[in-house]
Every structure is written in structure tokens, then in C-alpha cells.
Amino acid sequence: MECGALEAKFRELKARLAEVDDLRAAASVLGWDQQTYMPPGGAEGRSRQMATLSRLAHEKFTDPAVGHLLDDLRPYEESLPYDSDEAALIRVARRDYLKLTRVPASLVAEVIGHQGLSYQTWTEARPANDFARVRPLLEKTLDYSRQFSSFFPDFEHIADPLIDLHDEGMTVATVRPLFDALRPELVSLVEAIAGQPPVDLSPVYGHFPQDRQLAFGLEIIGDYGFDFNRGRQDLTHHPFMTKFSLGDVRITTRVREDDLTDALFSTLHEAGHAMYEQGIHPDLEGTLLADGASSAVHESQSRLWENLVGRSRPFWEHYYPRLQALFPEQLGAVSLDAFYRAVNNVRRSLIRTDADEVTYNLHVMLRFDLEVALLEGKLEVRHLPEAWNDRYRSDLGIVPPDDRDGVLQDVHWFSGLIGGMFQGYTLGNILSAQFFEAATTAHPEILTEIGQGRFSTLHGWLKENLYRHGRKFTTHELVQRVTGGPISVEPYLRYLKTKYGELYGVEV
Ligand code: ZN
């Protein structure tokens, strides 16, 4: 086929995908509204409207004409440089197309129906501490998860197709060695810290009025470089980030007036996700590439701005006087040191979402191991609560008193498939330190600038090296390009050991 004809086909593919993007974005607006301003009475109509939009987007994307275009465009893709926008779009569209078309539509519909029932049952079973009630549903979910994987026989491990849905290119074989290297180090760090006197948390508990908490968070993310001309923040129950276009990236938070840390760190976290999206190159707008590379890379940016920057000593040297001025009665007599310790408190706890930087990954890695064991058939659902508690005992040194705060605590296995949804959290933490180390190696002044409330060098480096690429590269490719080497746990371990070794006065 002639070059001109291929270019015409590429334009047709792009136009078709742009319509899919429009439908998805419209569904996202409805989803954002549902979780922020919609009155309860809107629930029924809203879920119908969102289902219609996703069905239309799915039909448009999986149209056989798209498959033909992708086949016809192979020579065009091969004639272009691998890192060109055009080749990347065809490559990513082909991967997505395969994922959406290999699984029969009838099975997808069945699974969606099952997930609705499973989620509803979980919302009742968790407060009732009743694992037996969700057990048959979870068994069915496991069965569906295995069926899903069976449509992708080209993967090595049964969990790989599920991991690939969220972290393209990552597999059990690539994730496991990283986790195996991290786990024992974290277990000993947590043990060493647990032997130290507990930190006084009173500085962050008290009464902190909502308006001032929100103003402080907005001030910081403005300094970070969050673009309010292309984004905004609203209140919700479970904070999230969502994007309608590169010109409209929204974050949400919730405020607890008795806890200063909840809104603040969720704001810094979601702003990290949002700045990644805002930093994607405008040329990628309206295509599948205008998105984060993977769950792991996305989470690396929320964690970088939340933890490596927002919980660092230089950061608080700059912002603590400002915070004290906002809350003079509550913090006027609290030293910077005491406050810094309180926001970096490490303790063994049962709930993943409440966990600190050091213990958090132990919660995640044990879930990853359990879901892989379930998929492999080495663990049965009926033995899951026991296996869960055993891992809490060996990894965190504590055992949940009941299943409510044990195996029933996370929504993931009860609202989606089993597999693929947890590894991204810890990979994100690992990558946050690896990217941050690469940035500060290139620009050592970043550390001083953080202590002056200036973030443009760091933000500029991240935009230039990471954000602008959107989804053009897989996690592996991006890490290689940005850091010059493969994914490694070393920078993250160095970061944790240095910071917490100093904070707790422990040798690790
Ligand atoms: Zn996140």
C-alpha cells in the first residue's frame, strides 16, 4: 500500500479512537459528579447513563473495522521510529484492542453482573464480620479470573494477563524478585523501629477547622506546580483523581477536622497523580497515549509528591512555620521536630490504607502472594482467612482479631477480578525513590530548593523525562530511559533506611 493511503488509514484510526476517548471522558465527568455533588436520588439514572456510555465506547473500540485498520497499519508502524507518537499509538491501540476482543462479550457481561452482587454482599459481610457469606462469591470470582487468563495463553503465568491489565509488561517473574528482595529488609526495619519508644501523635490530633486545612493543601500543591487553570479540587468520601482532557484534571479530598494528616497527605497524593496527567504532551491529547504508563508509574508520582517531598525534613522546615501560623492554638507550642516525627510515625497496624511508608508495602506484598497462590490453585478460598492471618503474623508481627479487619478489609477482590490490582502500589513506591534519585542526581539543588518551597526544577525534570511521554512506553522501557537501568529496589531501601534510621536512631 502507498504511503498516502497508509496515512489516511492512520488518520481514520485516530479519529475512531478520539470518539472512544470522548465517550470515556463523558463517562468520567458523570463518575466525578456521582462521587462529589450528585444527590442520592440520582444514583439509578446515573449508573444507567454511565453503563450506556461505556457500552458505546466498548462497541466503537472493538468494531472489527478497528482490527482491520490495525492489521493494515503494521507496515506503517514498522516504517516509523519506535518512539514516534504514531508508532506508539498503533502499538498501544493493538494491545488494548486484543485485551478487549479476546474475552467473549457474554462472559464480560456475566462477570460485571457477578461483580455487582459480590460488591453489594461485601458491603454487608464486612461490618458483620462474615467471611462465610462472601466465600462462594469469591470462589466464583477466582473461577472467572482464571477463565479470563485462559484467553491469553501467550503469557507464562496465570496471573500475568491480570497484572498486565494494570501494569503492562510486568509479570510474576519480574515482580517476584523485587518483592523478595524488599520484604526481608522491611521486616527487619519494622522490627528495629518497633523496639523504640512510640512517637507522640498528639500534634496532629486536635481540632483543625476544614477551611484552613483545605487552604493549606491548595497552597502547597500550587507551589508544587498543580495547574489550577487546568484542574480543581472538590470534596468526596474516598479521594481520587480523574481526567476529562489534558485541560481538565480533577482531584478530590475529604477532611477530618480531628486529624490534620488525612486531607493534607491525600491532597499531595492526588496532586501527584494529577500533575502527571497535566504534564502529558499536548500532541497526545484525545489519543490512548494521553494517560499514565501504568498503575505503578502513576503511583510513583503520587508517592513522590506525598512522601519523598511532602514528608521530608526540608519540606517541613519551610512549611511548618506557615502551618503554625494557620493553627497557632494547636501547633504554636509544638516543635518542628515533634511535628516531623508525628507525620512520619511508623507502627505495626492492621489496615493497609492507614499504614505508614515503612509498613505499607508489607501489607501489599502479602496480598500479591496470596492472590498469586489462589490463581495457581495452591491456596483455596476457604483457607484464605487463615493464610491471611499467618502472613500478618510472620510479616507484620500482628494478627487481626477478626476477618473484618483481616481478609475482608479491601474492596479489590470483591469488586474486580482476583489478581493484578495490588502490585502497582509497592512497585509505585519502589519507582518513586528510583525516579527521585535520578532527578536529584541530575540536579542536586532540588533538595535545597524543597527547603525553600521551590519545586520547579523537580517538576520540570519529571515533565521532561516522564510526564510528557504519557503511555508511549511500558514501565520497563520508561525506567530504562529515565534512570539508565532496570527497576531496582536499592534506591527505595536506601531512602527508607536513611530516613527512618535517623528518625528512630536505629542501625539498619
Ligand atoms: Zn494513588
What percent of the chain shows pLDDT beyond 90?
A: 96
Helix H or strand E segment including 480: helix 475-483
Torsion of CA 5, 7, 13, 17, to 10 degrees: -160
Cα-to-centroid distance, 104 and ligand 1 (Å): 31
Q: Read off the DSSP letter of residue 42.
A: G
Cα-to-centroid distance, 299 and ligand 1 (Å): 5
Cα-to-centroid distance, 226 and ligand 1 (Å): 16
Query: Which pLDDT tens digit goes with each residue over 14-54?
Result: 999 999 999 999 999 999 999 999 998 998 899 899 989 99
Answer yes or no: do 221 and 274 share one domain. Answer: yes
Answer yes or no: do 347 and 218 share one domain. Answer: yes
Query: Which residue range is the domain that position 409 belongs to?
Result: 172-504
Answer yes or no: do 112 and 185 share one domain. Answer: no
**Cβ-proximal residues to 60 (8 Å cutoff; 6+ apart), any chain:** 16, 19, 20, 23, 66
**Average of pLDDT values for 7-19?**
98
Q: What is the pLDDT of residue 323?
A: 98
Q: Is residue 208 part of a domain?
A: yes
Answer yes or no: do 77 and 20 share one domain. Answer: yes
Answer yes or no: do 216 and 356 share one domain. Answer: yes
**Average of pLDDT values for 329-341?**
98
Q: What is the pTM for the complete model shown?
A: 0.96
Residue 350: pLDDT over 70: yes
Q: Is residue 161 part of a domain?
A: no
DSSP string across 326-391: HSHHHHTTS-HHHHHHHTT-----S-GGG--TTTHHHHHHHHHHHHHHHHHTSS-GGGHHHHHHHH
Cα-to-centroid distance, 472 and ligand 1 (Å): 21
Answer yes or no: do 355 and 493 share one domain. Answer: yes
Q: Is residue 259 part of a domain?
A: yes
Task: Report residue 8's pLDDT band, with 50, 70 and 90 as the boundaries.
Answer: very high
Q: Considering 154, 187, 216, which residue would you say is the last residue of a domain?
A: 154
Provide φ and ψ at 395, rounded to 5°: -95, -40
Q: Is residue 263 part of a domain?
A: yes
Q: What is the pLDDT of residue 105?
A: 86
Cα-to-centroid distance, 322 and ligand 1 (Å): 26
Distance of alpha carbon 194 from its chain centroid, rounded? 28
Answer yes or no: do 82 and 184 share one domain. Answer: no
Q: Is residue 164 part of a domain?
A: no
- Name the domain count of the chain: 2
Query: Which pLDDT tens digit goes with each residue over 163-178?
Result: 999 999 999 999 999 9
Evaluated on CA atoms 304, 306, 311, 317, the torsion sign reads positive
Cα-to-centroid distance, 4 and ligand 1 (Å): 43
Question: Euclidean distance between the first and final Cα of the chain, in Å?
Answer: 63
**Average of pLDDT values for 51-60?**
93
User: Which cell is 366 given?
Assistant: 502479602
Task: Report residue 384's pLDDT band, with 50, 70 and 90 as the boundaries.
Answer: very high
Cα-to-centroid distance, 275 and ligand 1 (Å): 12
Please list the active-site residues.
270
Query: How many Cβ atoms sit within 10 Å of the Cβ of residue 16?
Result: 17
Nearest residue to 304 (alpha-carbon basis) of 338, 346, 337, 276: 276
Query: Which pLDDT tens digit goes with each residue over 231-254?
Result: 999 999 999 999 999 999 999 999
Cα-to-centroid distance, 271 and ligand 1 (Å): 10
Q: Cα separation of 355 and 207, whole Å?
A: 22
Q: Considering 154, 184, 201, which residue would you say is the last residue of a domain?
A: 154
Residue 1: pLDDT over 70: no
Nearest residue to 220 (alpha-carbon basis) of 263, 279, 161: 263
Query: Which pLDDT tens digit goes with each residue over 118-153?
Result: 999 999 999 999 999 999 999 999 999 999 999 999
Q: Considering 154, 188, 203, which residue would you say is the last residue of a domain?
A: 154
Answer yes or no: do 202 and 312 share one domain. Answer: yes
Cα-to-centroid distance, 445 and ligand 1 (Å): 27
Residue 2: pLDDT over 80: no
Residues, CB within 5 angstroms of ligand 1 (ion): 302
Answer yes or no: do 418 and 276 share one domain. Answer: yes
Q: Cα separation of 434 and 495, whole Å?
A: 9
Answer yes or no: do 131 and 181 share one domain. Answer: no
Query: Which pLDDT tens digit goes with each residue over 422-459?
Result: 999 999 999 999 999 999 999 999 999 999 999 999 99
Q: Cα separation of 252 and 241, whole Å?
A: 6
Answer yes or no: do 123 and 212 share one domain. Answer: no
What is the pairing mode between strands 241-245 and 248-253? antiparallel
In the chain, the amino acid numbered 282 is P
**Cβ-proximal residues to 200 (8 Å cutoff; 6+ apart), any chain:** 338, 341, 342
Residue 488 belongs to domain with CATH number: 1.10.1370.30
Q: Is residue 335 part of a domain?
A: yes
Answer yes or no: do 94 and 176 share one domain. Answer: no
Q: Is residue 349 part of a domain?
A: yes
Residue 221: pLDDT over 70: yes
Q: Which residues pair with 243 in a beta bridge?
A: 249
Nearest residue to 203 (alpha-carbon basis) of 329, 325, 312: 329
Q: Is residue 159 part of a domain?
A: no
Cα-to-centroid distance, 76 and ligand 1 (Å): 37
Cα-to-centroid distance, 135 and ligand 1 (Å): 28
Q: What is the mean pLDDT of the chain?
A: 96
